[in-house]
Structure 1
């Protein structure tokens, strides 16, 4: 059975990883190191992680392409929180003999809940009003009504379905589109299937809930955004590259859409000089969709189980190419 010597936990931005699992259960031979800041470039990742035989990655915060995996000669177990991780080259790891294990997922509820927080914040200008009150202002904006408005859900999977149900409960007219939409499921939920063009052109609020893939990258670009009304709102809590960010910035600056609320970006953490930090009519969140105490309990507890199972010679939740 393999001995475990050095374990790294990556990207613990909130410095809470030690609280969400009993890391004292690691073998006496194991030394645990927690990284609380992004490691940076592939070269920096290799330099920082070269001594470690076990690495726990938090979602896609740190990428592990082939060049990084090949640069870590001591790496034997790579654990990702969640059941899959698009930022890990699993095929390269397998070729190297590195076991990749996952954890249970966060579930749809946390991201769906945050989506509605962003919708309300944008529709009622809550961040701007809150900041204004602290400076002595009072009632500077007029909010948007959601009751009777149309909610367009792009992607009616687990998260999209939860978001749609809340919209229905609020008295919204809910429509949905995706390339492979299950129309029977949509109608059973109370959602009307429509074409993408109709959804974009007629929805007061468009919310995106798609997995990132080659097919969905850049799915909403300049032409699609041009279909939206000047007062419509766009919400993205899926993945940044699903939207053409340059096109969205241009639309916001030109006033051809009413506003955007984003939790995800093509580059994360968002650089200090990112144009999003000064973009008009936006509500921004730092990828909080899955960041809840319950989710972290699942992620870190399962990650510890993965490590212990590997040390016992019986890896679990192994991800294959």
Structure 2
């Protein structure tokens, strides 16, 4: 390197991280764990890379002070302490270390599984209290029991592997993984309700998002077996703590193990912490010496790779694109993103394959185009995770989604055309789009031609191609004061089916959508939000 780089470590990391950085002849390393905020702001203008854990708050003020800052490396998975939007706007790469604590979190889950089954914490406390109560602490074998894994990502898959090793029957729910990908993990993929109904133990491994808030509540617990046990080593707030406490009181749930809580540390009045049949640990999922070293090494290695070679492994935001490149491909990236988000709302079943194809006279690199399509497609599913052009392909690979990209020089109707085709456990659906003027448009749904804007609320339905179908739905929507702002019909030769897209001013309530789906000769109906 022709210029030296100044690296600041502002939180306590394994010494291995500093060793890796100092091995670079052009790196100057400043190691100041626990640095006061005032000093941090004073140093930031001369810093090229910042390494943190969770203590340092890398907010807009810190990022704004980083006049030379090129990369923020988080030694761990969570990046809640980094303002990702601000970093992206300023062209600062943010990377994390998602693999470093997979094993340790999975092992902690299994440790809690054993502790819960054999009542170990209460038994230990009893002996330390001078008692010998063998009959009081009769446990349950895990061998032969059914473990329900909710979320089959890296950690969930590792938990499943460990559980199978001790003879458990493992079932799982993950709507974004195909049954084929689950089978390769030795896991039977079921619906959420089926997992809840069949599992003796339920363990959660999903991100925190509006969709997963109180994922396990009163209604979900009611679907479970009497005597079920629940483990949460993922994120606080996934379990409705009051609902779980009530189920423990009634005996519906025999026990629980919690490493994370809605509020951390828990309030003194937390309804779970004081119970003998609830195993509680203080967010220790990633707290092993090995994990701390692994994430520190990963963060340091990524800083070296990025600053010396421009190589990116685990980016969680979008590095800045050059203005000339962005001007040329920006509209197509937006179109691919909108198409991905649109198609994701049409498909059902675990996704196996996503095909991205571009045709047109303008030379558009297919890599960023595919990544943008993945960003939109996966962003609909993974609302709790930040999906971007860099990490989209990795997230798809982790979920067993094969991504295929292709280009062609000519198109039939448009000077440029992007088509996405998704193959799922339930079949195949596709959507195509084009830049018309300067506006992204959706111009194809499956094999039907349409022409609609890529924004707002859309009712997309497939029906038997016969008179009166639009009128029936229009009357139903009108009776519920839902205004139709526009309409497009798609028909195909030699087909008894047609597709319609109704642009709406407002969303359609779930109960009205059910009425639409129950109309004779309506084969499929989806409310799409763009």
TM over 0.5, shorter chain: yes
Residue number in structure 2 paired with 1:56: 51
CA contact (8 A) 2:148 2:201 kept: yes
Deviation at 1:119, TM superposition (A): 0.3
Structure 1 residue 4 and structure 2 residue 12: aligned? no
Q: Give the distance between the partners of 2:263 and 2:4, measured in 1 at CA.
A: 36
Q: Give the distance between the partners of 1:186 and 1:314, measured in 2 at CA.
A: 35
CA contact (8 A) 1:152 1:199 kept: yes
Q: 1:304 to 1:180 in 2, by over 3 A?
A: closer
Secondary structure of the residue aligned to 1:175 is: strand
Q: 1:8 to 1:136 in 2, by over 3 A?
A: same
Q: 1:92 to 1:129 in 2, by over 3 A?
A: same
Deviation at 1:235, TM superposition (A): 0.8
Name the count of aligned residue pairs.
303
Q: 1:148 to 1:305 in 2, by over 3 A?
A: closer
Higher strand share: 2
Structure 1 residue 22 and structure 2 residue 13: aligned? no
Deviation at 1:313, TM superposition (A): 9.2
Deviation at 1:63, TM superposition (A): 5.8
Unaligned runs of 5+ in 1: 37-44
Deviation at 1:97, TM superposition (A): 4.7
CA contact (8 A) 2:101 2:295 kept: no
Q: Give the distance between the partners of 1:160 and 1:120, measured in 2 at CA.
A: 17
CA contact (8 A) 1:104 1:298 kept: no
Q: 1:49 to 1:220 in 2, by over 3 A?
A: farther
CA contact (8 A) 2:146 2:171 kept: yes
Name the stretch that deviates more: 49-58 or 307-316.
307-316
1:1-321 equivalences under 5 Å are: 1=3, 4=6, 7-10=8-11, 12=12, 17-18=14-15, 21-22=18-19, 25=22, 30-35=29-34, 49-53=40-44, 55-58=50-53, 64=58, 68-70=59-61, 73-75=64-66, 76=69, 77-82=71-76, 85-103=79-97, 105-106=99-100, 108-138=102-132, 139=134, 140-268=136-264, 270-271=265-266, 273=268, 275=270, 276-307=272-303, 316-317=312-313, 318-321=315-318
Q: Give the distance between the partners of 2:245 and 2:37, measured in 1 at CA.
A: 34
Deviation at 1:220, TM superposition (A): 1.9
Look at both structures and tell me which one has the larger radius of gyration over its CA atoms.
Answer: 2
CA contact (8 A) 1:110 1:289 kept: yes
Deviation at 1:200, TM superposition (A): 1.3
Give me the TM-score of the superposition, normalised by structure 1. 0.78
Deviation at 1:295, TM superposition (A): 2.5
Give me the TM-score of the superposition, normalised by structure 2. 0.50
Coordinate RMSD, CA, aligned: 3.3
Q: 1:274 to 1:83 in 2, by over 3 A?
A: same
